[in-house]
Copies of this chain bind each other. A is one copy, B any other.
C-alpha cells in the first residue's frame, strides 16, 4: 500500500489529456486500446451508479480525512460485501485510495484523479474554444472570487 503522497502522485499520472492531440476527430469512436480512453470511461462508469457516486461525494466532502469501509457500508445501507465490491470499482478507476489500519481499511477520495477526469471532460470545451469555456468557468466564480486564487 502506497503512502498517501505516493498514491496521489500515482493518480496524477493516470490521466493524460492526449486524446485530442492525435486529431482522431475523423474517427471518433474512442479506441478501447487507448489506455487513457479506457480509464476515462472506467472513471465515468465508476461514478455512474448511485451508491458509488454517493460514496465518492462523501469522501470528497471529508477529504483529506478517510472513512473505513464498514462505515461506508453502514451509511450507504448496503451489505458489507456489496460495498467492498463497489469500492473495488472505485479503486480500479483510480478515484479512491485505501490504507489498512489494523482491522480496518480506510478509504479517501483521490482529488488529482477527479481533477484529471473533469479536465479531460472539459478539455472538449477549452481546446481552442474558449468562448465555450467561459460560461463554465463563470459557474465557479463565487468560489473563485472568495479566495482570489487567480494564478
Q: Which chain B residue has the least Cβ–Cβ distance from A119? A: B139
A125 smallest CB distance to B (angstroms)? 7
Main secondary structure of the interface of A (DSSP, over half): helix
- A80: min CB distance to chain B, Å: 14
Instruction: Give the number of chain A interface residues (Cβ < 8 Å).
Output: 64
B124:A140 contact, CB within 8 angstroms: no
State which of B76, B121, B138, B149 has its C-beta within 8 Å of the C-beta of A118.
B121
A132 is an interface residue with CB less than 8 A from chain B: yes
How many copies of this chain? 2
CB pair A130 B118 closer than 8 Å: no
Given A48-B44, A50-B31, A60-B124: A143 and B130 within 8 A (CB)?
Answer: yes
B50:A30 contact, CB within 8 angstroms:
yes
The 0/1 profile, CB within 8 Å of B marked 1, for residues 110-137 of chain A is 0100110011011011100111111111
Residues of A whose CB lies within 8 Å of any CB of B are: 19-20, 25-32, 37, 40-41, 44-45, 47-51, 53-58, 60-61, 63, 75-78, 111, 114-115, 118-119, 121-122, 124-126, 129-144, 146-147, 149-151
